[in-house]
Amino acid sequence: MLKYLFMIIFLIPICLLGNCWWLVHSLIFLLSFIFMISLYSYSDLSMISYYFGVDFYSFMLILLSLWICCLMITASSSIYFSSYHPNFFVFVVLLLLIMLFCSFSSLNLFSFYIFFESSLVPTLFLILGWGYQPERLQAGVYLMFYTLVASLPLLLVLFSINDVFNTLYYPLLIDYGSFYFLFYVFSIFAFLVKMPIFLFHLWLPKAHVEAPISGSMILAGILLKLGGYGIFRLMKVISCLGLSFNYFVLSLSLLGGVIISFVCFRQVDLKSLIAYSSVAHMSLVICGLMTMNWWGCMGSLSLMIGHGLCSSGLFCLSNIIYERLGSRSLLINKGMINLMPSMTIWWFLLSSSNMAAPPSLNLLGEFSLLNSIISWSSYMVLLLIFLSFFSAVYTLYMYSYSQHGLYYSGVYTCSLGYFREYHLLFLHWFPLNLLCLKGEYFYF
């Protein structure tokens, strides 16, 4: 594990070079391919060093982190071409990648907590340094305070676990036993806010709207998945409490997902719509993890990977239009088939993946999540029907409204897009649909 970590760390001095942008991009891309072929044990911890190790869950999320960070640099080429501190930008991306790599591969719960929290700092730099609107300061404060306030109780829980077991080394931990409701809430609250669960989701649309494209990609692609990964790891310690209290979180999450779907119908801001759709998708992931069965855990992993690629691609598409028209409003970004005819196919492909159409990985994830939630309680069927149906409705609304109909009269031109943009979208869509063929990895 350390060899990959050291490779990323030693990319940082390259940021001092005059023209490091595409060099770092290519090396991260190379590293992701080397890492891809390095896993030699599906079912157990592998590549173990003193503090780090990966299993199937963390392996996929580290790979997603490498992939998205590489695509972030491609998507943010406007920073490079306008010479708006490109070297510092690459440094922040590498710093964030190191934090994520260490979070997903930590075998010690305390070091996981440290890296989980410190991943906020580079994200804040991205929003404050390269954001567009003056409100980005408020969005940054929202992001920091929601996460920090929710995370402090988790620190108390870790001290409590350490007091009982005399270790926080993950493979040695067992079930904590039936203690009390507050312990359960403190354990998972930080991760639920990070995902985010309904009622604690307000920081996410705000952060997305104010963030640059790189901030939106890393936020939707990876940082939300830190919450799911944390619940998966900690559920081992609180499984006995979970049997008593999981129904509360599961019901709130599923009902919240349906309500958020209605909120999506009323959005006129493209980025805001995609951000709210992320909340709806993540509510399904939370439900899968709360069922505490194999279908749920594996379904949540495949939906997290699928959603990470899909929502990141949709943010790229909205940014491509924003760079040309200077607006994210659907009232201006309509009839885009007239402005960018060749980009419409990518809108369709990524929108269809977002509504879990075959052959996307989202379909595989949603199937197994529906399976696990219905096996947990058949009363959830009605809410699941609404959630799946409305997810298709707001995605079709976004696609048809942005691509079809009369175009805005202020748009007088036609644009074909750059090869870089098509390449970027292909690298989101291709693994998203290819991984569906690798289903045995998720359900071995």
The sign of the dihedral angle between the CA atoms of 305, 232, 364, 196 is negative
In whole angstroms, how far apart are CA 57 and each of 46, 258, 363, 441?
A: 12, 27, 19, 10
The C-alpha angle with vertex 354 and arms to 348 and 356, in degrees rounded to 5, equals 105
Residue type, 129: G
Q: Residue 199's Cα: distance from chain center in Å?
A: 19
H or E element at residue 309: helix 294-325
Q: Take residue 307 and report the two structure tokens written for it.
A: 């959603």
CA distance 74 to 68: 10
Tokens 């719509």 belong to residue: 273
Count CB neighbours of 356 within 10 A.
24
CA distance 407 to 175: 59
CA distance 386 to 3: 47
Domain ranges for the chain, please list them.
2-442
Per-residue pLDDT at 243: 85
pLDDT per residue as tens, the chain (444 positions): 788 999 999 999 998 887 889 999 999 999 999 998 887 665 677 777 778 888 888 999 999 999 999 999 999 999 999 988 999 999 999 999 999 999 999 999 999 999 999 999 999 999 999 998 888 999 999 999 999 999 999 999 999 889 988 999 988 888 877 667 888 899 999 999 999 999 999 999 999 999 999 999 999 999 999 999 999 999 888 888 888 889 999 999 999 999 999 999 999 999 999 999 999 999 999 999 999 999 999 999 999 999 999 999 999 999 999 998 888 999 898 889 988 889 999 999 999 999 999 889 999 999 999 999 999 989 999 999 999 999 999 999 999 999 998 888 887 777 888 999 999 999 999 999 999 888 887 776
Q: Which of 103, 243, 236, 240 is nearest to 172 (CA)?
A: 236
The C-alpha angle with vertex 429 and arms to 425 and 435, in degrees rounded to 5, equals 150
CA distance 203 to 196: 9
Task: Check: CB of residue 123 under 8 Å from CB of residue 216.
Answer: no
Strand partners, 46: 54
Q: Take residue 291 and report the two structure tokens written for it.
A: 């069922």
Per-residue pLDDT at 203: 93
Residue type, 107: L
The sign of the dihedral angle between the CA atoms of 113, 116, 122, 125 is negative
Measured N-to-C along each axis, helices 270-290 and 361-376 cross at an angle, to the nearest 10 degrees, of 50
pTM above 0.85, yes or no: yes
- For 47, which DSSP code? S
CA distance 284 to 81: 40
CA distance 434 to 154: 37
Non-local (6+) Cβ contacts of 408 within 8 A are 325, 331, 332, 333, 334, 335
CA distance 141 to 289: 29
* Helix ranges (DSSP H) in 119-172: 120-130, 136-165
CA distance 268 to 98: 36
Task: Check: CB of residue 308 under 8 Å from CB of residue 64.
Answer: yes
CA distance 55 to 52: 11
Q: Take residue 90 and report the two structure tokens written for it.
A: 């690459």
CA distance 21 to 44: 37
CA distance 428 to 319: 15
H or E element at residue 225: helix 224-234
Q: Is 269 helix (H, G, I), strand (E, B) or coil?
A: strand
